[in-house]
Amino acid sequence: LRLITAIGMKLFGSTTSPYVRKVRVVMAEKKLEYLFEPTDVWAADTDIAATNPLGKVPALQLLKSGDVIYDSRVIAEYLDTLSPVGKLVPASGRDRLDVKVWEALADGVCDAGALARLEAVWEGRSDAERSQAWINRQLAKVQAGVAEMSRRLGEQPHCCGVHLTLAGIAVGCTLGWLSFRFPQLDWRGAHSNLAQLQDKLEQRPSFADTMPG
Ligand code: GSF
């Protein structure tokens, strides 16, 4: 007997975005199927705004209703409700709060890193318009955020509790993106506990199949 399930979701995204990767890893860990629509939000002719008025990825279209949901935190939390397989966000209380703060921290590091990178490389800005002071301000947040991840992790094998949660997924996507975009930051050299965590995460098929680039 073969069970045929219609694929009900389309994910708009790129293979370099850490936020998109977070959603793809959640999909894989939850064993959910989806269509992937490669989307370059920086292309001159992008029509992403027709899907997400904020012009950003990830955006997830629910094919039955046509509704589009964003951003990655909303999508990840929604996906976790779709299947009981591998619960990634605790239902309530302190554990739930911990996972959400970890995710905010990990995403916040990417937010600051992305602002620094865009200031340095965005084509819409001339060299005279680029501010090194702004880049430094954002990179300081990246450094402080990574240090806080290391402090929070301590010697635990997981960010929260005794198995993988959305916290670990968000942290892994952030660290992978930092290695990809800011190799000179050398977070591995500075924080061996995070390096150990990342090595374990990257052995999971969900991570191995979604390496940035
Ligand atoms: C951030 C998405 C985002 O900045 C989320 O989904 O969690 N808080 C949101 N996406 C970037 C791509 S990337 O930097 O990963 C994006 O789409 N930027 C386009 C733009 O015009 O800012």
Three-state SS letters, the chain:
CCCCCCCCEEEEECCCCHHHHHHHHHHHHCCCCCEEEECCCCCCCCCHHHCCCCCCCCEEEECCCCCEECCHHHHHHHHHHHCCCCCCCCCCHHHHHHHHHHHHHHHHHHHHHHHHHHHHHCCCCCHHHCCHHHHHHHHHHHHHHHHHHHHHHCCCCCCCCCCCCHHHHHHHHHHHHHHHHCHHHCHHHHCHHHHHHHHHHCCCHHHHCCCCC
CA of 171 to the centre of ligand 1 (A): 17
- Nearest Cα residue to atom 13 of ligand 1: 17
What is the average pLDDT across 119-148? 98
- Nearest Cα residue to atom 15 of ligand 1: 17
Whether the CB of 103 sits within 6 Å of ligand 1: no
* 7 pLDDT tier (thresholds 50, 70, 90): confident
CA–chain centroid gap for 99, Å, is: 14
Report whether pLDDT(3) > 80.
no
Cα–Cα distance for residue pair 170/142, rounded to 1 Å? 15
Whether the CB of 114 sits within 6 Å of ligand 1: yes
Whether the CB of 17 sits within 6 Å of ligand 1: yes
State pLDDT tens for residues 161-183.
Answer: 999 999 999 999 999 999 999 99
What is the average pLDDT across 41-63? 97
Whether the CB of 153 sits within 6 Å of ligand 1: no
Report whether pLDDT(189) > 90.
yes
pLDDT of residue 5: 58
Q: What is the mean pLDDT of the chain?
A: 96
User: What type of residue sits at position 18?
Assistant: P
Please report, rounded to a whole number, the percentage of residues in the chain having pLDDT higher than 90. 96
* 186 pLDDT tier (thresholds 50, 70, 90): very high
- Nearest Cα residue to atom 19 of ligand 1: 56
